[in-house]
Amino acid sequence: MNGSAITLGSIGIGDDNINYATLMHEKGHYLQSLILGPLYIFVIGIPSIIHASVHYKKCKNKDYYHFWTEAWANRLRDKYLLETEQ
């Protein structure tokens, strides 16, 4: 997986090379799953997997986190996780 991860509900899967920023981003996805419940797979999971599979070919010169599912996970991370660490 080379430093990447995936989250489905409360289950997060990543390899040994995952960094802190990616871990915190995946926690943002976890917060999305708490908000959406069983709709998470359809609203976030499937669109995120599709985006991840085409990003590097279709989204040239764009940050991976430009896609709305990823941007929302980062906003949740920033609001609820990073501010609690300070």
> What are 28-79's pLDDT values in tens digits?
999 999 999 999 999 999 999 999 999 989 988 889 999 999 999 999 999 9
Per-residue pLDDT, 1: 54
Quick one: the chain helix, strand, coil %, rounded to 5? Answer: 70, 10, 20
Query: Are the beta carbons of 3 and 18 closer than 8 angstroms?
Result: yes
Q: How confident is the model at residue 18 (pLDDT cuts 50, 70, 90)?
A: confident
Predicted pLDDT at 83: 65
Task: Check residue 85 and give its pLDDT.
Answer: 59
* pLDDT at residue 14 in the model: 86
Give the predicted TM-score (pTM) of the model: 0.84
